[in-house]
Structure 1
Amino acid sequence: MSPSLSRTGLLHLLVVYLVWSSTYLAFKVGVSNGFAPFWMGATRFIPAALLLLLYARWQGLRTQLSPAEVGGLVLSGTLLWVGGNGLILVASQHVPSGYVALMIATTPIWAAALEGLLERRSPPRLLLLGLFAGLAGILVLNLPELRATSPDHLLAFGLLLVSPMLWASGTLYTQRRSPHLPPEVVSGYQQLFGGLGFLALSLFFGEPWDTPNALAWAANLYLVVFGSLIAYTSYILAVRLLPLSLVTTYAYVNPVLALFLGWLFLGEQIGIWTFLGALLVLLGVGLVFKSQAALAGSSAKP
């Protein structure tokens, strides 16, 4: 392990690895047992946010926001949760949880590409190869369903192509423009504004609120406690303490465990196209990570 990497940051990254791998299963269980997607997001993020902010006040942390801080947290919370997570919830109605995780595994690729655009540097060859391999993996992963031209799958494909781009954008904004607030406060307000966005969308689309069964509520409670209160706070801390290219390697672990959990608990099939697509996507993520590590090493030299 490199001595320059924070041990605390790596511990928080481990929490992200383990917990977020299981959230795709919880998404699928929730929307398959009565939750409309935006109502599920609202009932997850608003309670989690209020608990985080109450904890922050109890700890004596600053929770009052300036107008500029409100604007930044509204933007990042909307990109991360309404954009990144909300599209996942909608797509989870139509496709297996393991497929969702594999599509979201492209997040590090988009994060690296966006970083390059922001810093106005030419993309390294390894980054281009990683992007090509990741896109090829997406194509292979979707080839059977694209042949059948299933409208539901095409919708899920489009949503899951955009979702990691929005999540990467929100992550970069959080890293570069995060207000000088404790991570619990940042996490709380991002989830509060995201939850309010979900509530507004649920009202706009007239989603039913009385259809989730006990299993759906249990899945959502798991997302509140572990996905929001524990893992996302660890994610914020990891972003602050570690390089972004390292933090987004949770995308290596999540698809593998998500595929296993979907197979184990939901009987989701893992076919040859899924296997080949997964290999290409993870190869792309690996090339991007290697490219970023090489870039960081060269910039550290005197």
Structure 2
Amino acid sequence: MSTRGARGALLALAALTLIWSYNWIVMKQALAYSGPFTFSALRYVGGTAVLFVLLLARRESLAPPPFWPTLGIGMAQTAGFQALVQWALVSGGAGKTALLAYTMPFWAIALAWPLLGSRPGGRQWWSIAVAACGLLLVIAPWQGVGSTRSVLLALAGGLSWAVGTVLAKRLFVRHPDVALLSVSAWQMLYGTLLLVLLALLIPQPVVQWTPPFIAAVAYNVLLASGLGWALWLLVVQRLPAQVASLTSLAIPLMGVLLAWLILHEQPGIWEVAGMALIAMALLSLRRTSMR
């Protein structure tokens, strides 16, 4: 991979960090006006429409990419991850839920080894260990992480996202000519169909179409869902699975900082120490990926 390609992926990840870190606050606030599955379905119906409009605007082919791999990505990355974490937010705080969901990198590393034959190198093992210690300090389970159901749902969401990430990497390896935007749109369409089905079958509170809720849906449709997943697949396409997954830990760290600035949730000493360790691991990974 070229240095330019790696830099492009890291720039995409920087933009994604800003979009997704703030969205954890938005998703939590949206639950005051809607049920979790209804909100998930709304955001992804709109996000899917945005991606297909982009395909048409760019005059790219609407032919679907390989069906089964794309379906697997959609079920895991779009439907599974979103439904589980949005459900976790019902009884869990935005910051803690985000941090638990971002155990994804460690699930992804475990899956990438047997499925992709991608064994971490020496420096990556060191980064994994440091990042894991940092994440443990930030979560600080000895201080309590919320309801058991919320914790398990968030962890399951991280595992589901990891499955989608590894499946996407394998698709790009086996089909290097597949169009990134096409995969983004079609996997989201498949996952959205399941989210809509869940919203219809599971009893949900009546949606309150207030200005804050409309703004939350718009933010998710245009940025967090449509643009966000396209940027994430660009990162997965251009970076090794371990590097792409571990560098995504910058997102919950930024979420903690935004919660501090916006919600005045000042991080404690454990969180500060953990963020310092994760930042150290990310810096090491950045040097490795640029090489």
Please, what TM-score do these two structures have when normalized by structure 1? 0.80
Q: Cα distance, 1:39 vs. partner? A: 0.8
Contact 2:138 2:275 survives alignment (8 Å): no
Q: 1:18 to 1:128 in 2, by over 3 A?
A: closer
User: Are 1:168 and 2:162 an aligned pair?
Assistant: yes
Letter aligned with residue 169 of structure 2? Q
Contact 2:116 2:170 survives alignment (8 Å): no
Letter aligned with residue 45 of structure 1? Y
Letter aligned with residue 53 of structure 1? F
Q: 1:269 to 1:239 in 2, by over 3 A?
A: same
Contact 1:112 1:288 survives alignment (8 Å): no
Which of 233, 237, 242 lines up with 1:245 in the alignment? Answer: 242
Contact 1:105 1:281 survives alignment (8 Å): no
Match of 2:30 in 1: 30
Match of 2:48 in 1: 49
Residue range with higher mean Cα deviation, 93-102 or 248-257:
248-257
> Is there any run of 5+ residues in structure 1 with no aligned partner, and where?
147-151, 298-302
User: Are 1:221 and 2:215 an aligned pair?
Assistant: no
Match of 2:81 in 1: 84
Please, what TM-score do these two structures have when normalized by structure 2? 0.82
Q: Please give the per-residue CA displacement for 1:88-128, whole angstroms capped at 9, x wherever unaligned.
A: 11111222222122223322222212122335688778369
Q: Cα distance, 1:287 vs. partner? A: 5.5
Q: Cα distance, 1:9 vs. partner? A: 2.3
Q: Please give the per-residue CA displacement for 1:153-202, whole angstroms capped at 9, x wherever unaligned.
A: 11111111121111111011011124843222211112222221111111
- Matched residues in 1 for 2:237 and 2:103: separation? 21
Match of 1:211 in 2: 208
Letter aligned with residue 17 of structure 1? T
Letter aligned with residue 266 of structure 1? L
- Matched residues in 2 for 1:256 and 1:122: separation? 26
- Matched residues in 2 for 1:123 and 1:61: separation? 36
Which of 115, 120, 127 lines up with 1:118 in the alignment? Answer: 115
User: Are 1:11 and 2:11 an aligned pair?
Assistant: yes
- Matched residues in 2 for 1:50 and 1:174: separation? 21
Q: Cα distance, 1:58 vs. partner? A: 3.2
User: Are 1:73 and 2:70 an aligned pair?
Assistant: yes
Q: Cα distance, 1:57 vs. partner? A: 2.4
> Is there any run of 5+ residues in structure 2 with no aligned partner, and where?
none
Contact 2:85 2:154 survives alignment (8 Å): yes
- Matched residues in 1 for 2:149 and 2:52: separation? 36
Aligned residues: 285
Q: Please give the per-residue CA displacement for 1:210-239, whole angstroms capped at 9, x wherever unaligned.
A: 335321221121111111222221221222
Partner SS, residue 147 of structure 2: helix
- Matched residues in 2 for 1:236 and 1:177: separation? 11
Letter aligned with residue 105 of structure 2? P
1:131-170 correspondence to structure 2 within 5 Å:
133-134=132-133, 137=136, 141-145=140-144, 153-170=147-164
Residue range with higher mean Cα deviation, 207-216 or 76-85:
207-216
Give RMSD over aligned pairs.
3.3
Partner SS, residue 262 of structure 2: helix
- Matched residues in 2 for 1:196 and 1:89: separation? 17
